[in-house]
């Protein structure tokens, strides 16, 4: 199963993006995490079946209401995260 790390920029902090990602990832049965970064971006890791990871990344391109995604960068990762999905402390 694939693991991808994404970095989302635009109007993505202060709009409930992390909680939105956590809910959607859990609905899709994905493992991983999400956090805010100091530069105003949101970073997340998703691990699971390829179709579910692709669906989640597609959802992140739109984001929750109130968000405005400008850029979504996608990086394949070698190591999967621990089971479950959580919101990590911001960096």
Residues carrying an active site annotation: 18, 36
How far apart are alpha carbons 21 and 8 in whole angstroms?
Answer: 12
**Chain centroid to CA 45: how far?**
6
> Residue length, the chain?
91
């Amino acid at each position: 199963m694939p693991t991808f790390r994404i970095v989302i920029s635009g109007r993505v902090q202060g709009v409930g993006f992390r909680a939105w990602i956590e809910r959607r990832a859990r609905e899709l049965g994905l493992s991983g995490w999400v956090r805010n970064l100091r530069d105003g971006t949101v970073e997340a890791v998703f691990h699971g079946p390829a179709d579910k990871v692709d669906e989640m990344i597609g959802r992140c391109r739109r984001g929750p209401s109130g968000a405005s995604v400008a850029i979504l960068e996608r990086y394949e990762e070698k190591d999967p995260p621990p089971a479950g999905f959580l919101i990590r402390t911001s960096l």
